């Protein structure tokens, strides 16, 4: 069953000097979620935000879900901190934890939705035994660490494979799992990405780098809606 399109602007591309204002403005412009990239200069070669920044921005997000993407190693110690800071969904990379199932359960026990993230070179076999604990699967369509990169085309067949898994799981259990894409999502390729199975889209520079955020979010949503005709 198709789910409504979600547009999740990544504040990695926002103005760091006025993050609160940018979060408020992008939600007013139509953002569904706020994507919050947490990088530790260890798992990925960059350093970004911690729980205190998430907590400070939460009031500016209003009803928009805080979509926290942990690009950190190890993971478990940060989960309760971000849950307390206002995260609605916490996702992580399977390579960054010793026990994927335990980390997923830790996220759910903290009251958050749980997601698993796959880099371009990460095999999907990690999904084999944890689908029952997932609310979201995210595919990185760039190598994580920096914003503004180009979409990696080999993500498309991988998306189709995950969509088949999600749909099969839904038929068996009735549970819905979102399929998110992060990296290089633009107005001119989101329809193709959606046609491959994605329903949730992280867009950083495409939104924050545009002159009219509301118009760009509207175009992204409209183009994603064309997937059913492709």
Give catalytic residues, as residue numbers. 37, 182
Structure tokens at 184: 């290089």
DSSP the chain: -----EEEEBGGGS-GGGHHHHHHHHHHTT-SEEEEEEEBSSSSS-B---HHHHHHHHHHHTTSEEEEEEE-SS-GGGHHHHHHHT-SEEEE-GGG-S-HHHHHHHHHHTT-EEEEEE-TT--GGGGTTTGGG-SEEEEESS-TT-SSPPP-TTHHHHHHHHHHHHHHHHHHH----EEEEESS--TTTHHHHHHTT--EEEESHHHHTSS-HHHHHHHHHHHHGGGGG-
**Residues 6 or more apart whose Cβ sits within 8 Å of residue 152:** 120, 141, 142, 143, 183, 184
Cα distance between residue 34 and residue 64, in whole Å: 6
Query: For residue 10, is the peptide bond before it cis, meaning its omega torsion is within 30 degrees of 0?
Result: no
């Amino acid at each position: 069953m198709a789910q409504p399109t979600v547009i999740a602007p990544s504040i990695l591309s926002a103005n760091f000097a006025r993050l609160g204002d940018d979060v408020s403005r992008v939600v007013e412009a139509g953002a569904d979620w706020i994507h919050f990239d947490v990088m530790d200069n260890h798992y990925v070669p960059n350093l970004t935000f911690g729980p205190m920044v998430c907590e400070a921005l939460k009031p500016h997000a209003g009803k928009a879900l805080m979509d926290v993407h942990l690009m950190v190693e190890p993971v478990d110690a940060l989960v309760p901190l971000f849950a307390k800071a206002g995260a609605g969904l916490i996702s992580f990379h399977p390579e960054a934890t010793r026990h994927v199932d335990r980390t997923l359960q830790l996220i759910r026990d903290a009251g958050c939705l749980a997601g698993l993230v796959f880099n371009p070179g990460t095999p999907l076999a990690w999904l084999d035994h944890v689908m029952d604990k997932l609310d979201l699967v995210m595919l990185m369509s760039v190598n994580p660490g920096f914003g503004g990169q180009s979409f990696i085309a080999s993500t498309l067949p991988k998306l189709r494979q995950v969509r088949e898994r999600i749909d099969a799981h839904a038929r068996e259990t009735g549970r819905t799992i979102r399929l998110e894409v992060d990296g290089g999502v633009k107005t001119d390729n989101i329809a193709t990405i959606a046609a491959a199975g994605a329903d949730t889209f992280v867009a950083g520079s495409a939104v924050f780098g545009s002159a009219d955020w509301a118009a760009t979010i509207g175009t992204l949503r409209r183009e994603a809606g064309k997937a059913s005709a492709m």
